[in-house]
Amino acid sequence: MASVTVSHVSKSFGDFQALSDVSIEFADGGFYALLGPSGSGKTTLLRQIAGFSFPDSGEIRIGGEAVESVPVEKRNIGMMFQNYALFPNMSVFDNVAFGLMVRDTPRSEIKARVGEALELVRLSGYDERKPHQLSGGQRQRVALARAIVFRPQVLLLDEPLSALDKALRLGMQVELKRIQREVGITTIFVTHDQEEALTLSDKVGVLKDGKLLQEGTPRELYERPRTAFAATFLGDANLFNGIADDGELALADGTRLRTLEPLARSGRMTCAVRPEKIAIVEDSAQLSSDSNVLEAELEQTIFAGNSLSYLLRHGDTSLRVFAQNRAAADLQPGQRVRLAWCSADTIPVEA
């Protein structure tokens, strides 16, 4: 297997800069999720790594080796794109074998390798089926088998699960993670699904406007977003705008919020608080000494089965609080409630 090192890569199309000085180290055997809004440069970055397109500046190394002059087929990278197409007239076996045949692999080895790849995606015995005789999830697994059959060092997955319904998607997520672990392949995974990114990967990077905004473990990114954008793009966040005063955040109505660490800067500041960190407190005895407390008016309760979402208002600020559907309070719209959360869950972010 191999690590992938992207150093100071920039790429423009005409006068549009799609990637701007991006540096990322994709660890050997790691599972890295790339997140970012549409047009942020995710696919463009994968295309540079695969060798379909070339950076204007910067360098890409695979397994320590600069790949500038290495063509696509020599980079030993498996790929699966969102609109992967299986050959409709070819059997499952031939679809998976295709990448080996174009590489002039001996017939006997092809048979063994295809068998192995199909076993890995749990499709042994489906060799002779045609794509139209498979379910959507099975077709997707054939595409995955095709991407890994020639034992690439690196696997690039560009929203591979986006076409699937929720149940299939969850099943495929488990399979993907299992296969990635068994094969130990360096995987770079693009997804729009934040939960998928958090659950599957050991590292997450957020791209915005062609720049890497922040990266870290899923937990680091979720618990310590550095920008309001990262906080709201990966998960939900309540944003409080105020003025830093004496280390605390002073809101317009005079409420003071204590933060993770005393605020070092002065002037306008924004803090993010995750909706599940906030509790609706009915009994002040439940308040601990380091809680932030805020009065708010309930506007709406959204029932989502296993959880409830409360939409509230504090002055000009809309707030969202998540609660598990376990002895949840019966609250009426218009009711004033008291919200409380730990100062450690109040994260200063760049606006």
By CB under 6 A, is residue 54 in contact with ligand ATP?
no
**Closest Cα partner for 247 from 238, 258, 231?**
258
Q: What ranges in 19-106 are assigned the alpha helix state H?
A: 42-50, 92-101
What three-state secondary structure class fits 307?
A: strand
Contact between residue 24 and residue 215 where contact means Cβ atoms under 8 Å apart = yes
Two tokens, residue 63: 């397994």
By CB under 6 A, is residue 191 in contact with ligand ATP?
no
On the CB side of 121, CA atoms within 13 Å amount to 26
- Closer residue to ligand ATP in complex, CB, 19/321: 19
- Closer residue to Mg ion in complex, CB, 4/257: 4
Q: Find tokens 């020639």 and name the residue.
A: 150
Pairwise CA distance, residues 62 & 338, whole Å: 54
Pairwise CA distance, residues 53 & 72, whole Å: 9
- Closer residue to ligand ATP in complex, CB, 79/244: 79
- Residue 201 site contact among ligand ATP, Mg ion, none (CB < 5 to 8 Å, cut-off depends on kind): none
Pairwise CA distance, residues 15 & 31, whole Å: 33
Give the nearest distance from C-beta 117 to Mg ion in angstroms: 26
Distance of CA 202 to the CA centre of its chain: 10
Q: Among 5, 6, 31, 43, which residue interacts with ligand ATP (rule: CB under 6 A)?
A: 43
Give the nearest distance from C-beta 74 to ligand ATP in angstroms: 23
- Closer residue to Mg ion in complex, CB, 69/83: 83
- Closer residue to ligand ATP in complex, CB, 5/43: 43
Q: Among 9, 30, 31, 40, which residue interacts with ligand ATP (rule: CB under 6 A)?
A: 40
Q: Among 5, 40, 43, 105, which residue interacts with Mg ion (rule: CB under 5 A)?
A: 43
Q: Among 31, 35, 42, 298, which residue interacts with ligand ATP (rule: CB under 6 A)?
A: 42
Pairwise CA distance, residues 346 & 251, whole Å: 13
Sign, CA dihedral 206-207-208-213, equals positive
By CB under 6 A, is residue 13 in contact with ligand ATP?
yes
- Residue 52 site contact among ligand ATP, Mg ion, none (CB < 5 to 8 Å, cut-off depends on kind): none
Which residue is nearest to Mg ion, using beta carbons? 43
Contact between residue 130 and residue 88 where contact means Cβ atoms under 8 Å apart = yes
Two tokens, residue 241: 């705008």
Q: Among 39, 115, 137, 171, which residue interacts with ligand ATP (rule: CB under 6 A)?
A: 39
Stretch that binds Mg ion, among 34-42, 146-154, 174-182, 278-286 (CB under 5 A): 34-42
Stretch that binds ligand ATP, among 34-42, 138-146, 253-261, 302-310 (CB under 6 A): 34-42
Residue type, 101: M
Binding site for ligand ATP (CB under 6 A): 13, 16, 18, 36, 38-44
- Interacting residue ranges for Mg ion, rule: CB under 5 A: 42-43
